[in-house]
Amino acid sequence: MKITPETGWKELPQGGVIPEAGNAEQYITGSWRTFRPIRDEEKCTNCLLCWIHCPDSSIIVEDAKVVGIDYDHCKGCGICAEICPPKIKAITMVAEKRD
C-alpha cells in the first residue's frame, strides 16, 4: 500500500510497521547541519577514508571515486574532514549560513 501524509488510522498497517525496507533515506536530515563539508576535487586522491568513516553514508562514490556529498543526509559532523590525510586535507568545514 502507498502511505501518504493524508493516510488515516484505519488504513495504516498494524503495529506501526512500514511495508518496505530502507526508507530512512526518504527522511531528509541535512537541515540539522551547522557546518558543511566542502571537498576540493583537485586535492582529493580518492583514498576513500572519508567514505569508510562517514556515519551517515553521505560520501557518494561511483567506480571507486568520490563524486560528491549527499547534503540531504550529511549532518556536518566533520569526521570526513578530520580523517582526510594531513598531507591532503581535501575537505574543509565551512559554517552554514541562512539565505
Partner 1 sequence: MGNLISMEGNQAAAEAMRQINPDAMAAYPITPQTEVVQTFAQFVADGRVDTEFVTVESEHSAMSACVAAAASGTRVMTATSANGMALMWEILYIAASTRLPIVMALVNRALSANINIHCDHSDSMGARDTGWIQLFCENGQEAYDSLIQAVRIAEHPQVRLPVMVCYDGFIISHAVECLELLKDNEVQKFIGEFKSVNSLLDISHPYTFGPLDLYDFYFEHKRQQIEAYGPAKQTVIEVGKQFGSLSGREYGLFEAYHLQDARLAIVLMGSAAGTAKEAVDRLRANGLPIGVLKLRAFRPFPSEELTQLLSRFEAVAVLDRAVSFGAAAGPLFTEISSALFASNHRPLLLNYIYGLGGRDIDIEDIQEVGKKLQKTAESGKVEQPFDYIGVRK
Footprint on this chain of partner 1 (rule: CB under 8 A): 5, 7-10, 12-24, 27
Closer to partner 1 by CB, 17 or 64: give it: 17
Pull the grid cell for residue 88.
591532503
- Which helix (H) or strand (E) segment is 39 a member of? strand 35-39
* Least distance from partner 1 to the Cβ atom of residue 56, Å: 15
- Burial code (b: 16+ CB inside 10 Å, e: under 16) for 57-68 equals ebbeeeeeebee
Closer to partner 1 by CB, 5 or 86: give it: 5
Closer to partner 1 by CB, 13 or 55: give it: 13
